[in-house]
Amino acid sequence: MLWYVIRRLLLVIPTLAGVAVAVFFLIRVMPGDVVVVKLRADGADVSEETIRAERKRLGLDKPLYVQFSDYMVGLAHLDLGKSLWTGDSVNKEIAIRVPVSFQIAVMASIIAVLIAIPLGTVSALYRDTWIDHSVRVLAVSGLAIPSFWLGMLIILMLLMMFNWLPKIGYVSIFEDPIANLSVTIWPAVSVGYRYAAVATRMMRSALLEVMREDYIRTARAKGVWMRLIMRRHALRNALLPVVTVIGLEFAFLIGGLVVTEQVFNINGIGKLFVDATTRGDFNLIQGLVLFIATMFIFVNLIVDLLYAWLDPRIRLS
């Protein structure tokens, strides 16, 4: 197991290097110039000389291969460079936004697990009854309703019914847990619902498949209690695909809450990504892509390790 983890961790380096090279060249194919957006977006009559001076200051006048080698050397020192928009380090820009995005992703995952596993199980156990139908309606609604729309409904409901809105701005949960939760719970619920819907359907179908297996039938024929069958045999096996879905969704949520963050005015990774892309801030886009790729790689590793825990037959090493 230890060797497996070490091998996987070593593989992270070439994977990220590949991502870094691809993203460096791909984003430079995009039209648009961050300097023009920065200096002329408000309609100002900015001279070409000023534009050239700013490009020089940001190092955008250097040949592409020089920019690339500077970037790779920086990367080797874990330095993602400076944002072309703010001039601050990309590491700092990302670090400011990580806590809130990470917390919402964790909370949404908890909400999804708490909803999906019991509902998916009940739905499978009571297949084709009103309980199953109700759960399926709930799950399909979750898939059909976009998270941002649900978010807007939540905001309107809070405003209309209670004349209250969550505070703007993020406070650490360790500083003020109540203020923190009053800000983060609503986006977590709005994305957690969709996330739960995906996991519920996966849980239901996986459990239905497992319940048809010979070893379940044998256990039932032997008169083993249903509760015991579920706990010992069915649930653990059915959880394997659910864990994959939850893991991938978690990694996606770290950087993928683009619209939901806008709706709730959350200063997270998704909002930063949108801003960086619309401004053409190459350095920040590169940093964000690498960060999200890293998250996916590590979440996949954790999912693989969980597989081994859930199913001892899987020999990772």
Partner 1 sequence: MQRLFVCALTVGAALAATSAADAQTPKRGGILNFGVVAEPPNYDCHGSTTFALVHPIAPHYSLLVKFDGKDYPKVVPDLAESWTVAPDGMTYTFKIRIGVKFHDGSPLTADDIKASYDRIIDPPQGVISIRKAYYADLLVEAPNPTSVVFKLKNPMAGVLEALASPFNCIYSAKKLQENPRYPETQIMGSGAFTFVEHVKGSSWEGKRFEGYFQQGKPLLDGFKIFFVKSGAVVPGILGGQFDAEFRGRNPSERGQLLDKMKDNLTVHEGTWVNNLMLVFNTTRKPFDDIKVRQALSMAIDRWGGSEALSRISILKFVGGVMRPGYAMSLPEAELVKLPGYAKDINKSRDDARKLLEAAGLKDFKFKLLNRNIPEPYTPAGVYSIDQWRRIGVAVEHEQLETKLYQDRVANGDFDVAVEFQADFMDDPTAQFSKFLTKKTSPSGYSGHTDSKIDEMYIKQRQTMDVAERTKLVREMERYSLTQAYSVPILWWQRIIAYNKKIKGWHMTPSHYLWQDLTEVWLDQ
> What residues line the site for partner 1 (CB under 8 A)?
31-34, 36-48, 50-51, 53-54, 57, 85-88, 93, 96-97, 155, 158-159, 163-165, 167-170, 262, 265, 267, 271-272, 278-280
**Least distance to partner 1, CB of residue 195, Å:** 24
Round to whole Å and give the CA distance between 254 and 262: 14
Nearer Cβ to partner 1 (46/131): 46
**Least distance to partner 1, CB of residue 117, Å:** 35
Nearer Cβ to partner 1 (53/110): 53
What are the Cα distances from residue 121, in Å, to 137, 140, 207, 211, 251?
15, 16, 7, 11, 25
Phi and psi (nearest 5°) for 89? -70, 145
Nearer Cβ to partner 1 (250/264): 264
Tokens at residue 84, please?
């072309």
Nearest C-alpha neighbor of 81 from the set 268, 249, 307, 286: 286
Residue-by-residue DSSP string for 127-196: TTSHHHHHHHHHHHHHHHS-HHHHHHHHHHHHHHHHS--PPSS---TTT-HHHHHHHHHHHHHHHHHHHH
Nearer Cβ to partner 1 (186/195): 186
Nearer Cβ to partner 1 (158/306): 158
**Least distance to partner 1, CB of residue 36, Å:** 5
What are the Cα distances from residue 33, in Å, to 30, 57, 68?
9, 14, 18
Nearer Cβ to partner 1 (251/284): 284
**Least distance to partner 1, CB of residue 281, Å:** 10
Nearer Cβ to partner 1 (207/285): 285
Angle at Cα 34 formed by Cα 28 and Cα 39, nearest 5°?
160
Nearest C-alpha neighbor of 170 from the set 162, 161, 180: 180
Q: Which amino acid is at 271?
A: K
Round to whole Å and give the CA distance between 27 and 123: 46
Q: Which of 221-229's residues contact partners 24+ apart within 8 Å by CB, and which partners?
A: none
Do the Cβ atoms of 270 and 69 come closer than 8 Å? Answer: no
Nearer Cβ to partner 1 (129/278): 278
Residue-by-residue DSSP string for 117-146: HHHHHHHHHTTTSHHHHHHHHHHHHHHHS-
**Least distance to partner 1, CB of residue 142, Å:** 24
**Least distance to partner 1, CB of residue 294, Å:** 21
**Least distance to partner 1, CB of residue 59, Å:** 12
**Least distance to partner 1, CB of residue 250, Å:** 23
**Least distance to partner 1, CB of residue 146, Å:** 16
Round to whole Å and give the CA distance between 204 and 199: 8
Nearer Cβ to partner 1 (58/116): 58
